[in-house]
């Protein structure tokens, strides 16, 4: 089997699939208030059958881990049908979901039954008013119900993703820690990234991972022990909290990039394969897919794309270089 190995000897075995670039929230760091895109004709979006066909091709190239993301994936109808198609592929070992969880309570059971075994939920504060302000309209009660549902159906570990902003929710780190520990969830602190106009606009609220970790230690009053998860190499630096089973992570794309272990590429809802979160390099898969390319032809296009995967992003050197991309299309 051909494997996806890039020029820097990284094996690509993880595909993040955006099923939509629309969202029911407008998080300040992710989406401009007016939304991110001109309304697209719905034929611009890959159908579930088209996504599943590409997932099959990727799985035959060694990809075994998939994530359904967006935009907000749960606003696309019957997402569990897509999950079932992907989990039926022979080499697939892991299907995860990234969501704002507003609609998770009513979908968790169907998604779990269709093979979605893990969920990451964006939640930046527990304060209802602040939450509504950050997300521009979000309802924390529904999100908390979504998290409870994910835990109840066993979509575990539930990871909570908190984008930390200096003047907005830095002071919420202690209450978020208490909540995560109470729920047995794994809380990850994410540094703001300068992607798209919304991401760039919050960079003056950037807090470094080191400052976040000091705040965590001050609250817990206990040691953080570096933890290496052999099962799951990811972008987070993970720490176990001394004398507890709880773990926390920090994703420091800006203060300390982790590109040398990158194992992933991203498929956008409109069928573009994005090779790096922080670089423009991408390849269109929708046109060949729709003009009748065979599986072998699609594999050749994907192999060629991977041979051009950039080495790393340059968030530090140039904060304005990815102004025209949007996190909401790239899927995070
Ligand atoms: N709607 C889903 C959600 O919010 O989890 C999935 C898509 S969202 C684009 C994926 C992740 O990207 C979220 O955890 C979000 O916090 C993160 N994100 C978006 N914009 C960001 C930025 N400028 N800096 C850091 N993380 C960002
Ligand atoms: Fe929507 Fe997720 Fe972006 Fe928030 S972070 S606007 S929930 S896509």
User: Which carries the bigger pLDDT value, residue 157 or residue 98?
Assistant: 98
Residues with CB under 6 A from ligand 2: 23, 25-27, 30-31, 70-72, 100, 122, 328
> Which of the given ranges, 107-116, 227-236, 269-278, has the highest pLDDT on average?
107-116
Nearest ligand 1 atom to alpha carbon 195:
23
**Listed residue (139, 98, 100, 142) closest to 123, CA to CA:** 100
Handedness of CA 228, 252, 132, 97 (dihedral sign): negative
Segment 15-28, tens digit of pLDDT:
999 999 999 999 99
Domains belonging to the chain, first-starting first, are 14-330 (3.20.20.70)
The pairing of beta strand 94-99 with beta strand 159-164: unpaired
- Rounded to an integer, what distance in angstroms lies between the CA atom of residue 25 and that of residue 79? 18
User: Which carries the bigger pLDDT value, residue 169 or residue 308?
Assistant: 169
pLDDT, position 246: 79
pTM (two decimals): 0.94
- Name the band, by pLDDT with cuts 50, 70 and 90, for residue 42: confident
Whether the per-residue pLDDT at 29 is higher than 90: the answer is yes
CB distance 172 to ligand 1 below 6 Å = no
Please give the structure tokens belonging to residue 279: 């670089």
Residue 57 C-alpha to ligand 1 middle, in angstroms?
Answer: 27
- Rounded to an integer, what distance in angstroms lies between the CA atom of residue 252 and that of residue 56? 32
**152-156, 211-215, 238-242: which has the minimum mean pLDDT?**
238-242
* Residues 192/275, Cβ–Cβ less than 8 Å: no
Residue 269 C-alpha to ligand 2 middle, in angstroms?
Answer: 15
Number of the ligand closest to the Cα of 332: 1
% of the chain residues with pLDDT over 90 = 69
Return all residues near 312 (Cβ < 8 A) that are at least 6 apart: 257, 259, 260, 262, 276, 278
Average the pLDDT over 125-150 and give the result.
Answer: 98
User: Which carries the bigger pLDDT value, residue 127 or residue 275?
Assistant: 127
Average the pLDDT over 163-190 and give the result.
Answer: 96
Please give the structure tokens belonging to residue 293: 């390319």
User: Which carries the bigger pLDDT value, residue 223 or residue 82?
Assistant: 82
% of the chain residues with pLDDT over 70 = 93
* Residues 219/174, Cβ–Cβ less than 8 Å: yes
Residue 99 C-alpha to ligand 2 middle, in angstroms?
Answer: 8
Helix (H) or strand (E) holding 247: strand 247-251
Whether the per-residue pLDDT at 280 is higher than 90: the answer is no
pLDDT, position 13: 96
Distances (CA, A) of 121 to 72, 100, 101, 146, 297: 11, 5, 6, 9, 36
CB distance 31 to ligand 1 below 6 Å = no
């Amino acid at each position: 089997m051909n494997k996806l190995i890039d020029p820097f000897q990284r094996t690509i075995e993880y595909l993040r699939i955006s099923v939509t670039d629309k969202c029911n929230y407008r998080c300040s760091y992710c989406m401009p208030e007016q939304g991110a895109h001109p309304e697209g004709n719905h034929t611009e979006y890959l159908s579930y059958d088209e996504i599943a066909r590409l997932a099959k091709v990727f799985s035959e190239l060694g990809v075994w881990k998939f994530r359904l993301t967006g935009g907000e994936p749960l606003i696309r109808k019957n997402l569990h049908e897509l999950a079932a198609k992907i989990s039926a592929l022979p080499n697939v070992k892991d299907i995860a979901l990234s969501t704002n969880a507003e609609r998770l309570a009513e979908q968790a059971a169907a998604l779990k039954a269709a093979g979605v075994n893990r969920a990451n939920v964006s939640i930046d504060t527990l304060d209802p008013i602040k939450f509504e302000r950050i997300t521009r309209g979000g309802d924390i009660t529904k999100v908390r119900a979504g998290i409870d549902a994910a835990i109840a159906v066993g979509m575990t570990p539930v990871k909570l993703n908190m984008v930390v902003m200096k003047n907005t929710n830095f002071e919420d780190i202690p209450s978020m820690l208490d909540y995560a520990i109470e729920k047995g969830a794994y809380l990850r602190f994410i540094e703001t990234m300068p992607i798209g106009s919304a991401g760039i606009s919050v960079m003056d609220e950037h807090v470094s991972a080191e400052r976040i970790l000091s705040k965590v230690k001050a609250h817990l009053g206990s040691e953080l022990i570096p933890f290496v998860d052999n099962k799951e190499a990811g972008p987070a630096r993970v720490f176990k909290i001394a004398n507890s089973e709880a773990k926390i992570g920090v994703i420091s794309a800006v203060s300390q990039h982790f590109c040398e272990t990158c194992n992933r590429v991203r498929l956008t809802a409109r069928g573009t394969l994005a090779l790096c979160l922080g670089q423009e390099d991408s390849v269109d898969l929708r046109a060949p897919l729709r003009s009748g390319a065979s599986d072998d032809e699609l594999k050749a296009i994907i192999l060629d794309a991977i041979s051009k995967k950039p080495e790393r992003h340059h968030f530090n050197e140039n904060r304005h270089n990815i102004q025209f991309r949007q996190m909401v299309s790239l899927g995070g």
